[in-house]
Copies of this chain bind each other. A is one copy, B any other.
Amino acid sequence: MLTNVRSDRVRSVRSLSRRSVRERTGRFVVDGPQGVREAIRYAVERVDDLYVTTAALERHADLVDAARQVGIRVHETDDAVLAAMSDTESPQGLLAVVASAPVTLAAVLASAPRLLVLLSNVRDPGNAGTVIRGADAFGADAVLVTDGSVDVLAPKVVRSTVGSIFHLPVVAGLDVAATLDALAAAGIRTLAADGTGETLLPDVDTRTPHAWVMGNEAWGLPAEIRDRCTDVVRVPISERVESLNLAMAATVCLAASSGATHRG
């Protein structure tokens, strides 16, 4: 039982809340039973250590057993140690340290993707996580993230994906212009989702490969990025409403692409 909140181990796990430490160590933290469960299901070879409080050990016995059976090191901790390791205010008693899995754009393109999302300069962790979750729910083949965006392995992003971060490739650190060129070269239409678009979402052909390009929460997509896209698409909304937020717009576009809203 780990009880020393000042131990090197606690400090080392806690330091993974910093981007520089995640990048240096190639590790990140998954907090809460849902995320940990999906890590064990879909990325078991990357799970290093599982930390669990006595209460969570009882509550999630199946999960902890599954982890032990596949050889994950399970450490029982007291509540204070788990709280010290976690960056959330209400930790759920279960936390794993996982190795990151760098994926390249080339690998994604080689898999002949039919539906992608490209996040350009998305800054809010909750938005990024929600879009990854939506991309997963609506069958996207990968999420692409530009270099000016939030780190997708930040604890808040990982938490907001509720495990989806382990379900589909997430490629980070991309240059937006080079990525748009690579998508075009691969025959994937790039659809800028933007309130300035003249094409309405219901008129988009969703049957051929395409990528939704989503911009920053506050300022959207700059003209030079929109101009590089195949089309600029607007979700038709009431004129009283200035805009949808990023996560809502992405969700609606992805749902339309997947056929979740209508028969194709």
Interfacial residues of chain A within 210-264, with CB under 8 A of chain B in the complex: 235-238, 240-242, 244-245, 247-248, 251-252, 255-256, 258-263
CB distance from A79 to the nearest CB of B (A): 21
**CB-based contact B260/A134 at 8 Å:** no
Closest to A42 in B: B240
Q: Give the distance in Å from the alpha carbon of A163 to the alpha carbon of B238 in the complex.
A: 13
Q: Does chain B have a CB within 8 A of A57?
A: no
Taken together as a complex, chains A and B put the C-alpha atoms of A146 and B237 apart, in Å, by 26
Instruction: Give Cα A240–Cα B162 distance, bound, in whole angstroms.
Output: 11
**How large, as a class, is the contact surface on chain A?**
35 or more
Task: Say whether, besides A247-B248, A248-B134, A167 and B241 are in contact (CB < 8 Å).
Answer: yes
Binds B, one of A11-19, A62-70, A136-144, A177-185: A136-144
Please tell me if A34 contacts chain B, counting CB pairs below 8 Å. Answer: yes
Is B262 in contact with A262, judged by CB distance below 8 angstroms? yes
Which residues in B have their C-beta under 8 angstroms from that of A258?
236
A residues with CB within 8 A of B: 34, 42, 130, 133-134, 136-139, 162-164, 167, 201-203, 235-238, 240-242, 244-245, 247-248, 251-252, 255-256, 258-263
Contacts A202-B263, A236-B259 known; list 20 others, CB within 8 Å: A133-B245, A133-B248, A136-B238, A136-B241, A137-B237, A137-B241, A137-B244, A138-B238, A139-B238, A167-B240, A202-B260, A235-B255, A247-B247, A247-B248, A251-B251, A252-B252, A252-B260, A252-B261, A255-B255, A256-B262
Pairs A-B, 7 closest by C-beta atoms: A262-B262, A137-B237, A256-B261, A261-B261, A137-B241, A252-B255, A248-B251
